[in-house]
Amino acid sequence: MCSYIRSMDAERCSKKPGNAPIAAREGVVLTAIVENYIASGDPVASQSIARQQNREGMSAATVRNVMADLSEAGYLEQPHTSAGRIPTPQAFRYYVEQLLRRMASPQQALPLPTQEQIEETFTGVANATDFFARTSHILALLSGGVGVALTAAGDRELLEHVHFVRLGQARVLTVLVTTTGIVRDRLLMLEQDLTPSQLETAANYLNANFHGWNLERIRQELAARMARERREYNQILHSLEELWAKCAMDRSAPEKSVFVDGVANLMVSEADRKHLRQIFLALEEKQRIVDLLNAYVDSNHSSVRVVVGLEETMPEMRDLVLIAAPARYGQEHLGTVAVIGPTRMQYASTIGTVTYIAKLFGRWAGQS
């Protein structure tokens, strides 16, 4: 069973047990059942499918037999003996795979007014932080799910300026701004106290000597200069190295910013209050969202990915769907945009929205 689906190189999910492919007639019925369930949220009866597929020459008896075969293959389940059928996660995977194969370009699924609404949302964006914050909001608004945007920490993080403020004994507030507009503020606890004058000297030194430098390269250069000029500049460079290491760098896990919006949208689709609380708690832990996106989104590819059933990575996210795409400019990975929502979502429009915004950020980055 596939753990995710990607556009044209999706793993083959449209298989019955024993690797027997779904026949065309079964595919038509399964697609109709999924779309009816998305629209109504109610179990789908064979009579309603037979009425819709009358033009295909399918009788109610034929549809019942096909639905029985699909149930045996794991694509449908029956909540009650007298009720109709509802799609399983396997059915949604099949549906999304077929949908993506029919969509020559996912963003073509977006009507022109929606594209204009998205473009208007990003009018006047001044920096990457603002872009990703607006991204999570518009994704939540258009999808009815949870909009997520994740910045990438990489070579594009260049120093614009840094500022240090003494708050007390060996306590310093640092404000670091990158050239892409990412702003980081952090409270530092130093090994030795520094005066406001020393902090100003340190900030001036960094801003004058390293404006436009990659953040990791600054740390390496400070260490190199300290080694070369230890006697003359030992005290100031040691202070600089400590300030920089604590405020800007984590070599084991580069810092990323996460923007999440629309969590309340899940209240509409999730009736289990205990499960809903688990979901809310998981979404509040931003690092878990980072881990979730990293688990499923390959930054080296540009295609959209759809993951039905997230419980393998986050058990709290069972019965939810992830639709995500990396934002790229050329070969450079800039971040990830995504929607987390119920299986009963409008897949075509959500896939189109995520794809459109990911490409839009790439164009914006190329112009900034």
How far apart CA 339 and CA 145 sit, in angstroms, is 6
CATH no. for residue 198?
3.30.390
Does 363 lie in the same domain as 307?
A: yes
Q: State both tokens at 78.
A: 């029956």
Does residue 353 register a pLDDT over 90? Answer: yes
Does 21 lie in the same domain as 168?
A: no
Tell whether 98 is covered by a domain. Answer: no
How many Å separate Cα 155 from the centre of its chain?
Answer: 20
Tell whether 95 is covered by a domain. Answer: no
- Edge to edge, what strands does the sheet with 5-6 contain? 5-6, 305-308, 320-329, 332-342, 146-151, 258-261
How far apart CA 251 and CA 322 sit, in angstroms, is 29
CATH no. for residue 67?
1.10.10.10
CATH no. for residue 295?
3.30.450.40
Query: 188: pLDDT confidence band, cut at 50, 70 and 90?
Result: confident
Look-up of token digits 């979901």: 279
Does 314 lie in the same domain as 361?
A: yes
Q: Output the pLDDT for position 55.
A: 57
> Residue 341 belongs to what domain range?
106-152+256-367
Does 363 lie in the same domain as 264?
A: yes
Does 173 lie in the same domain as 133?
A: no
Out of 202, 221, 248, a domain closes at: 248
Out of 201, 217, 248, a domain closes at: 248
How far apart CA 16 and CA 274 sit, in angstroms, is 34
Number of structural domains the chain divides into: 3
pLDDT, tens digit, for every residue of 211-265?
A: 888 877 888 888 887 777 665 555 666 677 777 776 655 545 555 678 888 887 8
Does 278 lie in the same domain as 138?
A: yes
Mean pLDDT of 190-201: 88
Tell whether 331 is covered by a domain. Answer: yes
Does 139 lie in the same domain as 268?
A: yes
Tell whether 93 is covered by a domain. Answer: no
Q: Radius of gyration (Cα) for the chain, nearest Å?
A: 26
Tell whether 217 is covered by a domain. Answer: yes
Q: Output the pLDDT for position 230.
A: 60
Is residue 224 within 8 A of residue 216, CB to CB? The reply is no
Least Cα distance to 179 among 368, 357, 328 occurs for 368
pLDDT, tens digit, for every residue of 316-329?
A: 888 889 999 988 88
Q: Output the pLDDT for position 12.
A: 38
Does 148 lie in the same domain as 178?
A: no
How far apart CA 336 and CA 259 sit, in angstroms, is 10
More confident residue, 15 or 147: 147
More confident residue, 329 or 352: 352
Tell whether 30 is covered by a domain. Answer: yes
Does 262 lie in the same domain as 145?
A: yes
Q: How buried is residue 31: exposed, middle or buried, by Cβ count under 10 Å (0-12/13-18/19+)? A: middle
Does 148 lie in the same domain as 262?
A: yes
Out of 201, 220, 248, a domain closes at: 248
Is residue 147 within 8 A of residue 258, CB to CB? The reply is no
Mean pLDDT, the chain, rounded, equals: 80
Which parts of the chain are beta strand (E)?
Answer: 5-6, 76-77, 86-87, 146-151, 159-168, 171-178, 183-189, 258-261, 305-308, 320-329, 332-342
How far apart CA 191 and CA 159 sit, in angstroms, is 25
pLDDT, tens digit, for every residue of 120-138?
A: 999 888 777 788 889 999 9
How far apart CA 108 and CA 308 sit, in angstroms, is 22
How crowded is residue 267: how many other Cβ atoms within 10 Å of its Cβ? 12
Does 316 lie in the same domain as 236?
A: no
Tell whether 334 is covered by a domain. Answer: yes
How many Å separate Cα 9 from the centre of its chain?
Answer: 20
Q: Residues 8, 68, 311, CA angle at the centre, nearest 5°? A: 50
Question: What own/partner pairs with CB < 8 Å and gap ≥ 24 does 184-190 have?
Answer: 184/247, 184/248, 184/255, 186/246, 186/247, 188/243, 188/246, 188/247, 189/246, 190/239, 190/242, 190/243, 190/246
Query: pTM of this prediction?
Result: 0.67
Does 262 lie in the same domain as 148?
A: yes
Q: How buried is residue 124: exposed, middle or buried, by Cβ count under 10 Å (0-12/13-18/19+)? A: exposed
How far apart CA 357 and CA 359 sit, in angstroms, is 5
Is residue 70 within 8 A of residue 29, CB to CB? The reply is yes
Tell whether 96 is covered by a domain. Answer: no
Give the number of C-alpha atoms closer than 13 A to the C-alpha of residue 331, restricted to the C-beta side: 1
Q: State both tokens at 235.
A: 């005290």
Q: Output the pLDDT for position 106.
A: 62
